Amino acid sequence: MAIVGAFALSSFAIIKPTDSIYQILNLTGSFGIIAVSLYKRVWQTVTLNSIWAVIALIALAKILLNI
């Protein structure tokens, strides 16, 4: 829900991809999917969402540090 929510809010111009809440939603959503995928041993999804989380973390750091 967090990832889809971030996408929907961004698509309807309620939030911007440069807003920290957008990246936080992406990050928490990817962590949730990683947890479920680890439990079910779906390694492709773990890999994809780990990359998604890293991207969200880097983007969030850039936003918070004003880089």
Question: What does the block give as tokens for 12?
Answer: 């309807």
Reported as a single tens digit per residue, the pLDDT across 52-63 is 999 999 999 999
CA distances from 32 to 16, 36, 62 (A): 22, 6, 23
Q: What is the pLDDT of residue 59?
A: 96
- Structurally, how many domains does the chain consist of? 1
List, for residues 24-57, the tens digit of each pLDDT value: 999 999 999 999 999 999 999 999 999 999 999 9
Say yes or no to pLDDT of 67 above 80. Answer: no
Tokens of 30: 């990817």
Identify the three-state secondary structure at position 3.
Answer: helix
Structure tokens at 50: 């780990």
* Structural domain harbouring 14: 2-64
